[in-house]
Chains A and B, each alone.
Chain A
Amino acid sequence: MKLTIKVQNGQLTAIDYSNTTVNDGRSQQINLNALPALVQEALASQSAQVSSISGASYTSQAFQTALQNALTKAGN
């Protein structure tokens, strides 16, 4: 599908769906903001205060080293 990306101040970009073949006109109601590099987001979240972590499902084995496990035990 084709997307038209608008960069604003080098940071937030709007993606225009108006020329796409898979979406109807109503999809323009949703303004999708894009950041070209995920690392920017990760850096912005440094010193993040969180209570819980959302991520792809882990097994009980993988949970042992998961951030969520450390977060639950923090301060306890």
Chain B
Amino acid sequence: MQLPDGIALADLGGWQRVTHQEPVWGTVVTFDVRGPELGSAAREAIEFAVRFLHDVDGWFSTYRADSSITALRNGLRSFEQTPDIVQQVLHECEAARELTGGIFDPWSLPGGVDPSGFVKGWAAELAAGIVAGNGFPNVNVNAAGDVASRGCESPNQPWRIGIRHPAHPDQVVRVVTAADCSVATSGEYERGSHIRNPKQPGAAMALTSATVIGPNGGLADALATALVIAGRDGVAWFNELPDWSAYLIAGDEASYFGPAFASRDSL
């Protein structure tokens, strides 16, 4: 597939690039590692992170009969009997639920607790950290649209992430510079109606798309979904998150706030 007119891969500035696409979780996770000299060790670093992604599937996939989360949902295991990492994610989900006044609520879904709305962004951030921790500090992990970045895409240029146009798959509406942070987007334009408002099940979504930019991938993922449900009312949650930014799309209207949009130069 060719890139459409108007969108180009950012210049590497003389750096090398190693990419990998991993089918996992019913989607594809993309790795992009940059640096002056990469070699085969970069592929090994990616391989460690790929193993983690498949471990995440074993912990959190609600589609797998043998996952930790399925055992918890079915009552075969208690919360205390689930792996520590699952408990930790559920604790972080509780904090996200509190922050959003119950709009993000993995416990409100039919079938039992489902932290999927947190896990993808959380796992992308940790996967990027694994690659960085194995000697490759300039890495971008894209988990089906939830992006985690470390370092730079080219010398002195932090990663530039395009926000997809909800109505036009081949257009970006905005480019944000993401230095060591996560960019998560939620909306129903890709997979149809699948987001549930715990306060009003069956209610229409307030936004077409919400993108959240911040230092915590799981929370970014959760807040993006919660903003789609709550719309501009959810902006109040960010009073406690001064480092965070968001880009909201309702129909053909866009609005945004936060330090990622402090300058029009980010276009």
B contact face: mostly helix, strand, loop, or mixed: strand
Contact A50 B211, beta carbon cutoff 8 Å:
no
Q: Tell me if B11 counts as interface (CB < 8 A to partner A).
A: yes
Contact A52 B159, beta carbon cutoff 8 Å:
yes
Interface-side segment among B19-27, B91-99, B196-204: B19-27
A18 to B239, CA, bound (A): 14
A36 to B253, CA, bound (A): 5
Q: Contacts of B211 on A, CB cut-off 8 Å?
A: 54
Which of A41, A56, A66 is within 8 Å of B191, CB to CB?
Answer: A56
Contact B147 A30, beta carbon cutoff 8 Å:
no
Q: Tell me if A27 counts as interface (CB < 8 A to partner B).
A: yes
B202-232 to A contact mask, C-beta < 8 Å, 1/0: 0000000101000000000000000000001
Contact B173 A42, beta carbon cutoff 8 Å:
yes
Contact B174 A41, beta carbon cutoff 8 Å:
yes
Chain B interface residue count, CB cutoff 8 Å, equals 73
User: Closest CB-CB distance, A60 to chain B, in whole Å?
Assistant: 5
Q: Tell me if A9 counts as interface (CB < 8 A to partner B).
A: no
Contact surface of B with A, Cβ cutoff 8 Å: 1-4, 6-12, 17, 19, 21, 23, 26-28, 30, 32, 120, 140, 142, 144-147, 149, 153, 159-166, 168-175, 183-191, 209, 211, 232-233, 235-236, 238-239, 249, 251-258, 261, 267
Closest 9 CB pairs of A and B: A55-B164, A56-B187, A50-B162, A34-B255, A56-B190, A74-B9, A49-B10, A55-B145, A46-B6
